[in-house]
Amino acid sequence: MATPGGMIRALHRGTLGQSVVMDRIFSGIQPTGTPHLGNYLGAIQNWARLQEQSSSVLYSIMDMHSLTMPKEPAVLRRNILDTTAAILACGIDPKKCFLFRQSLVPEHAELAWILGCLTNVPRLLRLPQWKMKCTSQNNEGTVGLLTYPVLQAADILLYKSTHVPVGEDQVVHLELAQDIAQHFNKKYGEFFPVPKAILSTTKKIKSLRDPAVKMSKSDPQKLATVSVADSPDEIVLKFRKAVTDFTSEVTYDPVSRPGVSNLVSIHAAITGLSIKEVLHQSAGLDTARYKMVVAESVIQKFAPIRNEIKKLQEDKSHLIKVLEDGAEKAKELAAPIYQEIRRLVGFQ
């Protein structure tokens, strides 16, 4: 299976066939507590690979973004540390990347204001995330919910990031960041690199109870989402109850057999095998037995991660220090860039 780095080289070749150098990677995750299977396969697993392939990588716990949906302060504080513990347990190494909490670097918010003054409201109103989340809030969406894609652009551009790992549903927000960078460059002179997407090779992981929607921590059906910290018994139960269909053969056809195809996607992503290899291995199995094969693969992958999460959660001071140390490094990187932005726009 091609690595994300190989994918980048394939997607972004120059006119002479030379690959584009990955100067700086930025990505972030909202602190919703312990990540679920979709988070791990779609983002965190790639983060661990990318930190080995680039000399400048920044990963942020996006606590400012999390305020776009109502949160109790105590819950947010706990979620920040739980998310940090899980990320570390999944192999993110602060010695190989900057891992930090977004709100500890105030330049994110300051740059967001500058970029917001270059962004028109109709563009933000057309974004699908605004339409979807505003509806979920009885059409009383906040200013923060409307403008958080501008903050996302600031998150990326503050460090002059060149590449951003994104899922399919975030591509439109990266396109906004690209447009904002180009608008800024046109107004003030060439300054920001236009960041490129690193698209995950993993198929979008769907709910185990409704394969028409993606796996989500907010799903009211408890059996729909597998947490990285779930026990073996919990994982087995969730896969046993996974919605499939009345055909017993294991095949891959996301349109006509979404449930089984979701299991195949999970199996391939968790083992590193291709869809074709997974189907070959599963020949002769009915879906009931295949569910247990997939469950066992997930259990084996998550067992050491689950144990490490428990250890890390017992040492909150260590988790806080990791985020504070990462923020200091991020500030050092951001400070000269932001000072130049201030000069360009006329603040100094």
Paired tokens of 328: 């200091």
Long-range contacts for 324-329 (Cβ within 8 Å, ≥24 apart)? 324/100, 324/101, 324/104, 325/94, 326/94, 326/98, 326/99, 326/100, 326/101, 327/100, 327/101, 327/104, 327/105, 329/98, 329/100
Secondary structure of the chain in HEC code, one letter for each residue: CCCHHHHHHHHCECCCCCECCCCCEEEEECCCCCCEHHHHHHHHHHHHHHCCCCCCEEEEECHHHHCCCCCCHHHHHHHHHHHHHHHHHCCCCCCCCEEEEHHHCCHHHHHHHHHHCCCCHHHHHCCHHHHHHHHHCCCCCCHHHHHHHHHHHHHHHCCCCCEEEECHHHHHHHHHHHHHHHHHHHHHCCCCCCCEEEECCCCCCECCCCCCCECCCCCCCHHHCCECCCCHHHHHHHHHCCCCCCCCECCCCCCCCHHHHHHHHHHHHHHCCCHHHHHHHCCCCEHHHHHHHHHHHHHHHHHHHHHHHHHHHCCHHHHHHHHHHHHHHHHHHHHHHHHHHHHHHCCC
Tell me, yes or no, if 187 is annotated catalytic: no
- Active-site annotation holder among 160, 206, 214, 238: 214
Tell me, yes or no, if 241 is annotated catalytic: no
Residue 125 burial (CB count, 10 A) = 12
Tell me, yes or no, if 186 is annotated catalytic: no
Residue 64 burial (CB count, 10 A) = 21
- Active-site annotation holder among 71, 96, 204, 217: 217
CA distance 159 to 192: 9
- Active-site annotation holder among 96, 133, 316, 331: 133
Q: Catalytic residues, which ones?
A: 133, 214, 217
